[in-house]
Amino acid sequence: MTDGPRRPHEYVPRSGSDAYSVRSYDLDLDYRTSTNRLNARAVIRARANVPLTVIPFDLVHLRAKRVKLDGDRRTRFAQSATHVTVKPAKPLAAGAEFEVEIEYDGSPRPRRSRWGTIGWEELEDGVLVAAQPVGAPTWFPCNDRPDDKASYRIAVTTEEPYTVLATGQLVDHSVARGRGRWEYFQAEPTSTYLAAVQIGRYTMEPRHSAGVEWLLAFPPALARPVLKDFAPVARMLEAFQERFGPYPFPTYTIVVTEDPLEIPLESQGMATFGSTHADGHGGSERLIAHELAHQWFGNSVGLIGWGDIWLNEGFACYAEWLWSEADGRESADALARRAHRMLAGLPRDLVLGDPGPDLLFDDRVYKRGACLVHAVRLQLGDDQFFALLRAWCERYRHASAGTAEFRELTGGFADEDDALDSLFDAWLLEPALPRLPAAKPTRRRG
C-alpha cells in the first residue's frame, strides 16, 4: 500500500497552475525549417480562480520579447528557464476574465525530462511535436496542466513546399512570396499536451468511413505500405463507435513521418506514426487501434491528473484487444490472460492507481490497466460493460475525470457493489497482482 494517492499535480510539480483556467489559445507561428527559427505570438484568454498578483505561464527554451495584459503595453514580466511570469499593475480579482499577449522567439527544441526528451523536435526534413506529458511549453506559453482544457486557433507560416498539420480543422490555407500559411481551429476543449504541429512534405489522402472524415498524410515514397497498413482504420472506426459511442471530434488525421519513431504519438484528433510503423504487412495494426482509441480515452475524456494515467493507457490497450476480437481473431479474454501471465513474471512494485512519476509510462500500467478493464467486463457482463463504456464517454465528453469518477459510474452498472469495490481496491491500490475472474461466455460483437 502507498501512504495515500498523490495530489493531481505532484507528478509534475513545476508545471501548470491552479490559480487560473485558460479559455482559449490563439497562436501565430512563423517558422523557418531551414534554420529552425521561430517567431511567434500567443494570445491567451483566461479566468482567475483566485486573486492573482502574478500569472505564470510555462515556456521553455524560447524568449519572451513583449507582453501585454488586457492590451497594456507597459505590463511587466519576468522570465526563468521554465516560466514567463506576468505581473499585473494591480491584483486581478477571483473570477476576473483577462487576456495576455506574449510575443516570443527562438530556436525550439525538446526539453529534457525523466521521460526522455519531449516537445518540439526537428526531423530530417520537417517537424513533429511529441508533448506528453510536459512538452507543450517548448513551442508556446501555456498553463501546462492536463485538466486545463481550452480551444485553439493555430496558424503556421513556413516554406511553401511543406504541408502543415495541426490540432483542429483546417479553416484557411494561402501562399504568398514562397511561403504557405495554414490555419487550424479546434473548438473542442483540448489539453496542452494534446495540441500539436507536424510539418513535412506530405501527400494527403482524405477518407470517409463510418460517418467520420479522416485524413492520411504521408511522404510520397511511403504510399504503398501506408495505404495498405492503415486501411483497417475504416473498420476500426465502425467497431469503436459501436462500443464507445460516436467519434468525439469532427475529423481524424493520421500523419506518417519519413523518420523512424519508436512509438506513435497521440494528439487531439490526430495520431503520428513513423516510417517504422508502415511495413506493408500490418505489423503495427494494434498500435493503430491503440492511438485511435485514445480519441475517446485520454483526449475527449481527459485526465484530472497524471496519477490516473491507467484510464488513458489501460483503455487504449484494451481497445487493441477489442479490435482483435471484432476482427475475428483472438478474443479479448485470451489476450488478457496472456498479458496477465506476462505480468505475473514481472516485479510487483507498481501501484496502478498511483504509479508515481518514474513509472508513469511503464508497460505494466498499460497491461495491468487493460487487465483491470477486462476484469470489470467479466464482473458486469457484456451488456452492462459496453453500456458503461458508452456512458463514460458520453458523461465526460470533452471534460476531465479520474479514477474516483470511473468507480462511481461503474457502481451504477453493478449488481454487487461490494464485489466491485473489492475488485477495484485489489487492482488499483495493492502492488500484488490479483487473479482475473473466471471467463464467461461473451457475445460476439461486430
Query: Annotated binding site for Zn(2+), which residues?
Result: 290, 294, 313
Which residues are the active-site residues? Answer: 291, 366
Q: Which residues contact 105 (CB under 8 A, 6 or more apart)?
A: 37, 38, 39, 40, 62, 63, 65
Beta-carbon neighbour count of residue 1 at 10 Å?
7
C-alpha angle 281/287/288, rounded to 5°? 75
Taking residue 178's Cβ as centre, other Cβ atoms within 10 Å add up to: 8
Q: Are 336 and 314 in contact (CB under 8 A)?
A: no
The answer to whether the CB of 320 falls within 8 A of the CB of 329 is: no
Lookup: cell for 240:
469503436
Output the known binding site. 290, 294, 313
What radius of gyration, in Å, describes the C-alpha atoms of the chain?
A: 22
Contact in structure between 312 and 305 (CB atoms under 8 Å)? no
Burial of 429 (0-12, 13-18, 19+ CB in 10 A): middle
DSSP-assigned beta bridge partners for residue 174: 181
* Residue keyed to cell 500523419: 255
Alpha-carbon dihedral sign for residues 267, 254, 170, 158:
positive
Q: How far is CA 431 from the centre of its chain?
A: 27
DSSP secondary structure string for all residues of 30-94: EEETTTTEEEEEEEEEEEESS-BS-EEEE--S-EEEEEEETTBTT-EEEE-SSEEEEE-SSPBPT
Tell me the three state secondary structure of residue 143. Answer: coil
